[in-house]
Amino acid sequence: MDNDLKSIAAARRTAETAFTAYQNFLGTDPAHVDAIVDAMARAVEPVARELGAMAVEETGYGNVPDKRIKNLFNALSVADFLRDVTTLGMLWRDDATKVAAFGEPMGVVAALIPVTNPTSTIIFKVLSAVKAGNAIVCAPHPRGIKCGMATVKVMADVAEQMGAPKGLIQCLDQVTIAGTAELMSHRRTSVVMATGGPAMVKAAYSSGKPTLAVGAGNVPCYVHKSKAGEIGEVAEMIVTSKCFDYGTACVSEQAVIADPEIARELRQEMKMRGAYFCTLAESDRLSKVIFTGKQAMNAERVGQSSQALADAAGFSIPPKTRCLVSEETEIGWHRPLSAEKLNPVLAFYEARDSQHGIEMSISIAKFEGWGHSACLHSNDPEIVAQFAAVPTGRVLVNTPAILGGMGYSTDLEPSFMLGTGTWSGSITSDNVTALHLINIKRVAYENRPWRDIYEEYGE
């Protein structure tokens, strides 16, 4: 049997098993569901580093300390948030209108897992799906199947020890494009959660099933002159956020746009924190390494350290360089480094003035990153209001983009699936949570005499 047939068989088997487990899980007391979710989150904590190390070794992307942080955030912060969220049973009741809402599970969730975040995304999606009373089958990238299966096993074992049906949480052990497509379109699958490259997201939308999917992020980060007294802290936020896990998160900063009054100081402060500003020739060589020439990222250069990228591009950088910066003036594929870069590489623009800075931010977001996120550093409320015109689902103010967007340093919902809205073809611009994985049933009593419609609108 060839690999496609094996993967298709695995998809069919897991979907059927998941559906049976889901049926057996129906009616579980919400308090027991919460206990299972909490137990799974706690089980991740002692193995967070081990799972992160497995992910780095298998995929070659990112670094272990930051993978560990991602795993812990998606276990502990997400579980903390979910603990106070009602997903099953009565959600709310309004005695005045005689309407009440009840949450019910969707069924079997097919969860596509990206190679850039293979363990943390599974943790997030499993907790969210189970909190909503669903079964879940994870379909990892072939390059992340071992660490994906290990993560699922940790969570599934604990859930079953807590009384969850066997098969409620599963992972494909044979993964091909054909097998993943079979899982998404299978009659037992109710909803698809798709995180991955453009081709896989497009396939998810074509599966015929309701789909929660995300688009690319090309996050502009505009630094306004009103931050003149805080440029060091702004530089630290930008460099730290962009370099986190070697840039594998699409919500991290992609391009810095600085007002002319503070641009020189910002460059200097970024250099002091490990940013290396490339020469024009180095930038051109770097772009040829990062991109394939077909308006696509080179998968072999995703999630690599700045040193590895510089070595591949054939130029030298100082020791302890954290990120590479390319000075840019134009936006578009004729300047590839103005696009999304899933590695520690930033574009840097100097605006003519505040209006130009906001206009450039809008252009950068529209080029590849429509609907995702934008970042602003400003103490001027009027500038914040103007910057909100950027066409993104999140506008993150005075915070590192990655930590603000995923809901750690802001009060956005903790999530590792950030919707991009209809700007990029997604059904939601929300931070996706368990609340997106339930059907909401409304029970409504008659509240006005039905015959009155003839008096009010009849002839």
Task: Indicate which residues carry an active-site annotation.
Answer: 250
Beta bridge partners of 277: 325
Calculated CA dihedral for residues 429, 407, 85, 171, nearest 10 degrees = 80
Q: How far apart are CA 217 and CA 253, in angstroms?
A: 9
Handedness of CA 2, 136, 403, 260 (dihedral sign): positive
Q: How far apart are CA 152 and CA 156, in angstroms?
A: 6
How far, CA to CA in Å, does 126 sit from each of 9, 134, 199, 222, 272?
22, 9, 23, 35, 40
Q: At what angle do helices 30-44 and 120-131 cross, to 10 degrees?
A: 170
Beta bridge partners of 291: 297
* Residue 394: closest CA among 338, 432, 367: 432
* Residue 199: closest CA among 179, 216, 183: 216
Contact 3, 142 (CB under 8 A): no
Q: How far apart are CA 188 and CA 191, in angstroms?
A: 9
Q: Longest C-alpha distance within the chain, in Å?
A: 84
Q: How far apart are CA 141 and CA 442, in angstroms?
A: 38
Residue 164 structure tokens: 């969850």
Q: How far apart are CA 76 and CA 420, in angstroms?
A: 25
Amino acid letter for position 112: L
Q: Taking the CB of residue 356, how many other CB atoms lie within 10 A of it?
A: 15
Residue with tokens 């081709």: 199
Using DSSP, state whether 116 is helix, strand or coil: coil
Residues 49-58 as b or e (16 or more Cβ within 10 Å = b): bbbbbbbbeb
